[in-house]
A = this chain, B = another copy of it.
Amino acid sequence: MESSTLKDIAAKLNLSVATVSRAVNNKEYVKKETRERVMKALEEYNYVPNEVARSLKLKSTKTIAVILPDICEAFFGEIIKGIDEIVSPHGYTIIVSDTNENAENEKKYLEILQQKRIDALVFATVDLSGSNVKKYLSAFPVIFIDNIPEIAGIDSVTIDNAAASRMAVDYLIEAGHREIAVIIGSVKETTGYARREGYLEGLEAHDILVDEDLIQYGNYKEDDGFRCMEQLIQNRDVHPFTAVYVTSEKMTFGAIKALREYGLRMPEDISLVGFDVQDKAQLISPSITTIRQPEKMIGNRVGELLLRRLDGNAEQVSGQILLKPSLVEGQSVKRVN
């Protein structure tokens, strides 16, 4: 059946659109009897509110966009669920855009989303400089996750990445390792930078000298992990190590493949601590000791921050929320000595 408009309903009932609108939206100043007549007509004539018209009038679409680099990563899925849990009871809908890790696509989506008049944005950017997003910061609230660009006064929700590295390094040292390599992301963005800091601090705290050649830089992809690990393995005579800490899931997988390819056993020959490794089926063996982020909680915090920004009761303290990571013990680290 064709759906009808407020005007249609008003005509059928010999009322004004204003009155029907009030009834529909449960506003006051509608006689009980009138309200009932309207409610009945709504059913009868199949009224479906037009959210587009509503948005135009109210200048709010009740829509929150999430831009992320790869929708296939379960990590982001959990975050989205976490956000949704908080904002959907308030009538907000989430729309997701996948950039395929491509900064140009980010630019494209940013533009489209502004045209669609989203109310707010949650952004996991791959653009370290943040130059693309700058011009939108005044158009709608933006909350960064995962990767925080170097811009002053922005909102973000992440784990304490330095602390994460500290946990990994401390754990390895505790297990008796002292020659600890690391495969890390670009230090040009805050995430990579903080993870590196934590690693350095960890060594320092235990009076271990840093060997710069044991620090390899990748770009979070599996190939990078492979390449970095390969590099480490090849330099092994000059720069020996017994353990490696890899700072992303994909790089962890790549690193493990390199180990295999070079016939190195894990953990017998090399111990490994990964990052974000999600082994939902617990089928990987040996199971991997890994740093984990509280995805759901990240999503929840983002949702709460979002609501605060959208309420606009504007206590505009920029919120750099840091959550605690955890270390999940597997069998990929060998105790030595």
Q: Interface residues, chain A, CB within 8 Å of chain B?
A: 1, 3, 48-53, 55-56, 61, 70-74, 77-78, 80-81, 84, 93-98, 100, 112, 114-117, 138-139, 222, 253, 256-257, 280-285
B95 touches A81 (CB 8 A): no
A/B interface sample: 15 pairs, CB < 8 A: A3-B139, A50-B115, A50-B117, A51-B115, A51-B116, A72-B81, A74-B74, A80-B98, A93-B95, A93-B112, A93-B116, A253-B280, A256-B281, A257-B281, A285-B285
Q: Given A52-B55, A84-B98 in contact, is the A283-B71 Cβ separation under 8 Å? A: no
Extra 16 A-B pairs, beta carbons < 8 Å, given A50-B117, A222-B281: A48-B115, A48-B139, A50-B56, A50-B115, A51-B115, A52-B55, A52-B117, A71-B77, A72-B81, A73-B77, A81-B100, A93-B97, A93-B112, A93-B116, A94-B95, A256-B283
B283 touches A281 (CB 8 A): no
CA distance A74 to B249 in the complex (A): 15
A78 touches B84 (CB 8 A): no
- Among B94, B117, B257, B285, point to the contact of A282 (Cβ < 8 A): B257
A91 to chain B, nearest CB (A): 9
- Chain B residues in 8 Å Cβ range of A93: 95, 97, 112, 116
A86 to chain B, nearest CB (A): 14
A274 to chain B, nearest CB (A): 10
Residue of B nearest to A77 (CB): B72
- Among B56, B95, B138, B253, point to the contact of A52 (Cβ < 8 A): B56
- Chain B residues in 8 Å Cβ range of A282: 257
- Chain B residues in 8 Å Cβ range of A256: 281, 283
- Chain B residues in 8 Å Cβ range of A3: 139
Q: Given A50-B115, A71-B80, A116-B51 in contact, is the A95-B95 Cβ separation under 8 Å? A: yes
Residue of B nearest to A281 (CB): B253
A54 to chain B, nearest CB (A): 8
- Chain B residues in 8 Å Cβ range of A50: 56, 115, 117
- Chain B residues in 8 Å Cβ range of A283: 253, 256, 284
- Chain B residues in 8 Å Cβ range of A55: 52
